[in-house]
Structure 1
Amino acid sequence: MDQQDSGTHAPPRIDTGKPHPARMYDWFLGGKDNYPVDEALGRQLVGFAPGIPVMARMNRAFMHRATRWTAGQGVRQFLDIGTGIPTEPNLHQVAQGIAADARVVYCDNDPIVLVHAEALLRGTPEGVVDYVQADARDTAAIVERARETLDFERPVALSLIALLHFIGDEDGAYELVERLKDALTPGSYLVMSHLTPDFHPEEASKKVTDLYRAGGLTMDMRSRDRFARFFEGLEIVAPGIVAAEEWHPELGEPVPGQEGVHSGAYVAVARKV
């Protein structure tokens, strides 16, 4: 939480009867902050596609590299929506490793993330780390709360990592990104990763989608063209829209077990001009 915020929160109500993407991602990464329902669906997915845990790590490694890159461009403010359960190094640790005074706001809608945000998200004395409990589609509430920590008149790096494939077109995926882009000042960056069917056989992608939907979760693995729509009006930086493992690999270390595994995700970083 914000190191200057000593407020208390009522105990969150955690729904353990339905899988949640944040807890499943934690399970894929080898974490312990998940429930049997999350592990059950995770095991089904890994049983069909054994590379998924490595793919999750490749996605997270992209987040690390993109955070280093945007901090290297002089950005000192970060808004991470769909943050998931903290897994070190977290985004604020990467950003504040480049600039100790970086200010970071995390956002997620799973109450279990709030529990761990309070306990684990501690930044440098010079910087600030805060957390917003909200659904990604409630962009007005997110921006309003984030303004308590971030100055939206200055550049912000907005991270939407492995989030939008859980929000369908009919639920306003493109509209929510547009609203967030509108809140950013020129010089800000949009950082995104997104699962795609483009690198795998159609039947394999359909099977993964069907497994998620059987678990009560939306899964929309968008094509390259559909992914590119999120960046309309922005200037995509080099190397453009690429697979997660192809985005500035020199800024990080290879993920163990990565050789021979495709991330299955498109990524890009784009600047608002």
Structure 2
Amino acid sequence: MSARMELAGKVAVVTGAAGGIGRAIARSLAVRGCHVALADVNEDGLAETVALIGNSVRVTRHRLDVADRDAVAAFPAVVLAAHGHVDVVVNNAGVALSGSFAQLTAAEFDWLLDINLHGVVRMSRAFLPLLQQREQAQLVNLSSLFGIIAPPGQSAYAAAKFAVRGFSEALRHELIAAHSTVGVTVVHPGGVKTGIATNARAGAAVGVEERERQQAHFSKALKLSPEQAGEIIVTGIEQRRARVLVGRDAKIVAMIERIMPVAYWRLLGRGR
């Protein structure tokens, strides 16, 4: 397997491309000459992303809910009709949900898992046959800093992001064993300045004051710009890296977790 992917002339699918990290990834891919199929439920946001990219590459936009099993299953044919092939799939679409396990209903928990975990699995299953037809291809799954550590109040989000990490690593090992040309990258963004904190849902049992306190706390940690994050991630795709830590905070926290795999929260949870 080649150690580097030249993105010029390639075709990439990016979910969650209407804003934030997804938009930044799409723009960084396009700057490198990569054609992009952009997917999101937010059609207005998708239109803005397309306008920002311009006409330097072929860009298509598609309304897609990754929680919709049938829509995801039909999506590869749509992309093939528009672009002819697929070299890169970036599973970035995701939502946030705050609340302890006791505060979340089963329906709330399942809502997040259906998007953040099952959406990644559905997209991977749908597009892997197309990726395997290419001489060189990359599947890119976004986990999180909370796929490395699990803070209180993030039981659903951490469950999904740890699962994305585990799924990606197991799939990578399976593809390596099968001598596949498809590589798998798992991405762990730290605090990136997107709308994820302000747009996060809270469990119905979470009080208004507690919800505002959680949003304020996490908003303070969002320091890296989406553009910086997008460049880091796309550079990781070019290098076909197995793991990409996005931001200084992600690198520091990953190191602490390695040193203190059970007791890390005694250190990281101070001052909360």
Task: Point out the structure with the larger helix share.
Answer: 2
Instruction: Tell me the TM-score normalized by structure 1.
Output: 0.48
